[in-house]
Structure 1
Amino acid sequence: MRTSSIIIFCLLATAFSSCKKFEYFQTDPNKPTQATPELLLTNIETAAFNDISTSGAFASRYLVNTDGIDSYQYYNWQRSGFNDFGNLRQVVKMEEEATRINQPVYLALSKFFRAWFFMKLTLAFGDVPYSEALKGSSEMFTPAYDRQEDIFLNILNDLKAAGDQLVAADGDIRGDVIYGGKKEQWKRLINSFSLRILMSLSQKEGNAKLKVKERFAEIVNNPSKYPLLSGSADNGQLVFADLQDNRYPYYNNNSMQTAFYLEENFVDLLKQYKDPRLFRFAQKATKYAGLPDNDFNAYGGAKGSATIDENNSRVVNGEVSKIAKRYYNDPVNEPSVVLGYPELQFVLAEAVIRGWISGDATDYYKKGIQASMEFCKIAPADITAYLAQPSLQLVPGKELEGIFNQKYISFFMNSGWQVFYEQRRTGLPVFDVSGNGVLNNKKVPKRWMYPDTELNLNRQHVSDAITRQYPQGDNINGIMWLLVKE
């Protein structure tokens, strides 16, 4: 009897288990299928804020690579990828999880990160998928490309909504490795980012839809509603730690130790201003090893447009300064700044010169310089002496040149490709293309070509976007809508 009962129980158990759906057995109980918003936020922040780019440094004439022909140094890049759509999918997942557990504060931050990653994409290519993007769950795998003008308009509106939503949202921001959950600092970053975007639209002052000047003035003239970065403590930056996967990205990098030298025109600009930041950016050239560390004559640069042979000859002669050791032997070095107080001050100074806002352009300009030098750990007395130099004063009629030069210096080894986009917009400082190493018919590229994956999987839409924007076809010298004056 006992044996029969056991057999019947086993048969029933087997029958019950056989009723379970196949999908049941495809779920690993040890692997979570849901993630809390704070875990997603940490990864999203790290992807967005760890933005130190030697490629951008080569293209922006800060550094020279003597190890080989670098396409960024010699202006011969071609296609780039849509990798930031991967980051945007993480933002969408954070939105879904925040909605699931009713945490609206993460929805406000998601608007900022949507704006951040979409801005990177449109600045690189021009028109990109936007309104139909990120809808793979709806089986929309070939999204149309939105016009750049519409993308900018939507991003600006989303940032404004993000600030308002952040004020109203209840709940703490957990998982925040940038500001430690401080909503006020996020508001300041969001509004300052809006000003950066509006200034990037300086060629569009006459665009009635965007109302660039009006939007800019609205933010600056209402600080209680639109607070801005108030000092370097508010910098949008990722601080590194001496832990695995958390160190400065070029720590122990062999190429940086052996083949990365400062560019000649950048060194000459620093010498022209007698700028002590040179001593923080570079090592003395070996030819002048006997001179004091603070002697400007002890530093030299290689020419970004020269051939590798020409530059290596100068290296052998000991005439050229390597990048400072701290960039490869300090696991912490300095934070990765993606949008800082110095940049904001230079943006405000430019806005005064352009007549967008009232104020003292010189005051903003000097605050930007001071904050940059403090970030570089320049002594207070040296900062005071630097700011008092006649060569540092803004010259009437040439104010923008002075502002852009200092903005350029302040971006050294931070803010990703932003400095390249600033030069693309303004033409200042001039990037040297005179040497025999430069390709692309000795022109500085304006953009990247669309990814091969889009040509293979979304050909009709990407072809329509190319035809609409670039009459000469998809090429790196195409002039996107952003750069056409209105």
Structure 2
Amino acid sequence: MKKIVTYLLIGLFGTTISCSKFEEINTNPEATDKVTSGMIATRIILHLANQPSQKGFLQPYMLNKNVVWTEFVESYQYNGFGAGSLSFSAINDAQFMPQFATSEKLAKSYGGLMYFARAVKFFEATMDLGDIPYNDALKGETDKQYFPKYDTQKEVFIGILKELELADQAFAAGENFAGDPLYGGNTTKWRKLVNSYTLNVLMQLSKKVGDADLNIKNRFQQILANKPIFTANADNYQLIRSDKSGQQYPFYKVGNNFTIYPTMSTEIVDRLKTRSDRRLFYYGNPSPKKITGGMTAANYDAYVGIDPSLKYDNILDIKNSNDYSKLNDRYTEVVTGEPTQQLSYAQLCFIIAEAAVRGWINEPALAWHKKGVEASMQFIFDNTPNTAQFHHGMPLDAAYISTYVGGLTLPTGTESQIEEIITQKYLASFLQSEFNTYYDYRRTGYPKWKINPETSLNSEATGKIPVRWRYPAVEYDYNTENVDAAVSRQFEGVDNVNQLMWILK
């Protein structure tokens, strides 16, 4: 009996000790016990800059005709659209970054990031859908506004441009900040990104150049003349990859069961061959049949694309013939691959070249056009191992780039010049920038992609690529009155993928 009592006392005493020490024992001394501005910043920046992996990574590039998918019929390849997304969860805590900052200048910097992140997410949503909630968005917690009204697309763009302006001002008044995987918290580089991104937004509004409220030409001129913008590839809005879990190139082969399905598209291959452009040798591999037949990998004719508008059975026949080009090995064999971009210096150069052709600015369009091609080629050369496996004996070395760029010209006529600039922008954006190439096509009609009515999944307009996504079903389920009002206002009550949104009219 005594032993039992003793054991009970020891047990009770031990329990008391354990309870009193529980928090101390279970606290990680190396981990923070509160959220910081930098922690929120990292999460938000990675969400903005990152891209999906494996098959998800290639989905946008099926739509913009970079690749042809050979596993099954893919909707994007055949111009089939469904419902889009309308979620701002990635930025629902952005306002806490400046609130948690430990100094006034840091609060400015984190405020700049907040404005930029908001502008990006609203821009992406309105570009896909049209009118969206803006003024009432993200007010569920603060104002109990659970069913936000939709603002007109014009109102949304006015708001986006204002937030980008505020972001630039905030970064200018701030100081370098923590939690930034892109630029190491350098506020000058963030200003370059904000202003370059603004020029991209303004160009997407090219059909509204006469709108006095948007003041597109003047805004473009003022930024180009007075504010920092990208000046080199080092400024790119991109994620540099590493050999760490979750940070590898999105289509790297390990754990990726989809590497056998993508092939090069004729839309890319044929344009590069026509221009004798060595980027072809970095984007694709030669056709095995052409190599077996005696061609060398350094021969432009050894590269064969597949027409993405062909019937799926015909595509499979070509694949079975072994006379086609796969993606270059660097996309699957190099763990770090190349940095994945959302906006690059090369793309900015083409934006400025287009603005010059349109008469928005007094700049030499050809000079900026040349800068864009040069930056694209240099980016590829700098981020690819310099071996025959990845360039097939046709390297983008300094001598080649200099000669090629020196020989570039622009055709006569405004529309022809815009077509060439957009086409080169397209070629510079291979497996980069997600849907941006599609936005350019939708706005300008360039590049002139082949559309086959016999294979089109755009059932109501088989000769066209859709110009928007439908509103998501959850909006009709829970925000019915407001989404119905938006559809009625824009599209005469029909939420259709072929209806022109305001910026396209």
Structure-1-length-normalised TM-score: 0.89
Deviation at 1:313, TM superposition (A): 0.5
Tell me which of 75, 87, 91 is aligned to 2:90. Answer: 87
Task: Report the equivalent of 1:338.
Answer: 342
Three-state SS of the structure 2 residue aligned to 1:257 is coil
Tell me which of 273, 277, 285 is aligned to 1:271. Answer: 273
Equivalences for 1:271-420 in 2 at 5 Å? 271-289=273-291, 290-377=294-381, 378-389=396-407, 392-397=408-413, 398-420=416-438
Partners of 2:102 and 2:77 lie apart in 1 by: 45
Partners of 2:348 and 2:380 lie apart in 1 by: 17
Three-state SS of the structure 2 residue aligned to 1:146 is coil
Deviation at 1:329, TM superposition (A): 2.2
Task: Give CA deviations for 1:113-133 in whole Å, capped at 9, x if unaligned.
Answer: 111111111101111111111
Deviation at 1:99, TM superposition (A): 8.4
Task: Report the equivalent of 1:452.
Answer: 473
Task: Report the equivalent of 2:162.
Answer: 157
Task: Report the equivalent of 1:241.
Answer: 242
Say whether residues 1:429 and 2:469 are aligned partners.
no
Contact in 2 for aligned 1:142/1:458 (Cα 8 Å) = yes
Partners of 1:295 and 1:90 lie apart in 2 by: 53
Three-state SS of the structure 2 residue aligned to 1:406 is helix
Partners of 2:472 and 2:32 lie apart in 1 by: 33
Deviation at 1:103, TM superposition (A): 2.7
Three-state SS of the structure 2 residue aligned to 1:158 is helix
Task: Give CA deviations for 1:135-191 in whole Å, capped at 9, x if unaligned.
Answer: 11122111011111011111111111211111112x431111101121111111111
Task: Report the equivalent of 1:134.
Answer: 138
Q: How many residues align?
A: 452
Task: Report the equivalent of 2:116.
Answer: 112
Three-state SS of the structure 1 residue aligned to 2:81 is coil
The verdict on how the C-alpha distance between 1:478 and 1:120 changes in structure 2, with shifts beyond 3 A counting, is same
Contact in 2 for aligned 1:257/1:325 (Cα 8 Å) = no
Task: Give CA deviations for 1:74-105 in whole Å, capped at 9, x if unaligned.
Answer: 1112112224x111214234344348997331
Contact in 1 for aligned 2:279/2:377 (Cα 8 Å) = yes
Three-state SS of the structure 1 residue aligned to 2:341 is strand
Equivalences for 1:240-259 in 2 at 5 Å? 240-252=241-253, 254=256, 256-259=258-261
Say whether residues 1:206 and 2:207 are aligned partners.
no
Deviation at 1:233, TM superposition (A): 0.9
Deviation at 1:107, TM superposition (A): 0.8
Any runs of at least 4 consecutive aligned residues in structure 1 with deviations exceeding 6 A, and if so which? 28-33, 99-102
Deviation at 1:256, TM superposition (A): 4.1
Task: Give CA deviations for 1:213-265 in whole Å, capped at 9, x if unaligned.
Answer: 1111111122xxx1111111111111111001111112126454211001112
Contact in 2 for aligned 1:264/1:304 (Cα 8 Å) = yes
Contact in 2 for aligned 1:98/1:107 (Cα 8 Å) = no
Task: Report the equivalent of 1:13.
Answer: none
Partners of 2:160 and 2:98 lie apart in 1 by: 17
Partners of 1:477 and 1:463 lie apart in 2 by: 17
Partners of 2:281 and 2:406 lie apart in 1 by: 19
Deviation at 1:317, TM superposition (A): 1.2
Three-state SS of the structure 2 residue aligned to 1:64 is strand
Contact in 2 for aligned 1:307/1:435 (Cα 8 Å) = no
Task: Report the equivalent of 2:125.
Answer: 121
Task: Report the equivalent of 2:13.
Answer: none
Contact in 1 for aligned 2:95/2:111 (Cα 8 Å) = no
Q: Which moved more, 1:470-479 or 1:310-319?
A: 470-479
Structure-2-length-normalised TM-score: 0.86
Contact in 1 for aligned 2:85/2:125 (Cα 8 Å) = no
Contact in 2 for aligned 1:34/1:97 (Cα 8 Å) = no
The verdict on how the C-alpha distance between 1:472 and 1:321 changes in structure 2, with shifts beyond 3 A counting, is farther
Partners of 1:379 and 1:309 lie apart in 2 by: 40
Three-state SS of the structure 2 residue aligned to 1:221 is helix
Three-state SS of the structure 1 residue aligned to 2:238 is strand
Task: Give the unaligned 5+ runs of structure 1.
Answer: 1-27
Say whether residues 1:143 and 2:143 are aligned partners.
no
Q: Which moved more, 1:267-276 or 1:472-481?
A: 472-481
Task: Give CA deviations for 1:440-473 in whole Å, capped at 9, x if unaligned.
Answer: 1232010111111111110110111111111261
Partners of 2:272 and 2:166 lie apart in 1 by: 41
Contact in 2 for aligned 1:51/1:414 (Cα 8 Å) = no
Deviation at 1:417, TM superposition (A): 0.6
Partners of 2:64 and 2:314 lie apart in 1 by: 20
Contact in 2 for aligned 1:38/1:176 (Cα 8 Å) = yes
Q: Which moved more, 1:323-332 or 1:177-186?
A: 323-332
The verdict on how the C-alpha distance between 1:462 and 1:34 changes in structure 2, with shifts beyond 3 A counting, is farther
Contact in 2 for aligned 1:78/1:475 (Cα 8 Å) = no
The verdict on how the C-alpha distance between 1:340 and 1:469 changes in structure 2, with shifts beyond 3 A counting, is same
The verdict on how the C-alpha distance between 1:87 and 1:381 changes in structure 2, with shifts beyond 3 A counting, is same
Task: Report the equivalent of 1:20.
Answer: none
Three-state SS of the structure 2 residue aligned to 1:179 is coil
Three-state SS of the structure 2 residue aligned to 1:128 is coil
Partners of 1:158 and 1:279 lie apart in 2 by: 41
Partners of 2:33 and 2:150 lie apart in 1 by: 31
Partners of 2:324 and 2:96 lie apart in 1 by: 48
Partners of 1:435 and 1:326 lie apart in 2 by: 35
Contact in 2 for aligned 1:44/1:90 (Cα 8 Å) = no
Query: What one-letter code is carried by the residue in structure 2 that aligns with 1:37?
Result: S
The verdict on how the C-alpha distance between 1:122 and 1:361 changes in structure 2, with shifts beyond 3 A counting, is same
Query: What one-letter code is carried by the residue in structure 1 that aligns with 2:46?
Result: T
Partners of 2:35 and 2:472 lie apart in 1 by: 31
Cα root mean square deviation, aligned = 2.1
Query: What one-letter code is carried by the residue in structure 1 that aligns with 2:466?
Result: P
Task: Report the equivalent of 1:46.
Answer: 46
Partners of 1:319 and 1:437 lie apart in 2 by: 22
Three-state SS of the structure 2 residue aligned to 1:393 is coil
Task: Give CA deviations for 1:19-70 in whole Å, capped at 9, x if unaligned.
Answer: xxxxxxxxx9989884101111111111111136411111111111010010
Task: Report the equivalent of 1:463.
Answer: 484
Query: What one-letter code is carried by the residue in structure 1 that aligns with 2:179?
Result: G
Task: Report the equivalent of 2:76.
Answer: 72
Task: Report the equivalent of 1:37.
Answer: 37
Contact in 1 for aligned 2:484/2:493 (Cα 8 Å) = no
The verdict on how the C-alpha distance between 1:430 and 1:141 changes in structure 2, with shifts beyond 3 A counting, is same
Partners of 2:68 and 2:439 lie apart in 1 by: 19
Query: What one-letter code is carried by the residue in structure 1 that aligns with 2:250?
Result: P
Task: Give the unaligned 5+ runs of structure 2.
Answer: 1-25, 382-395
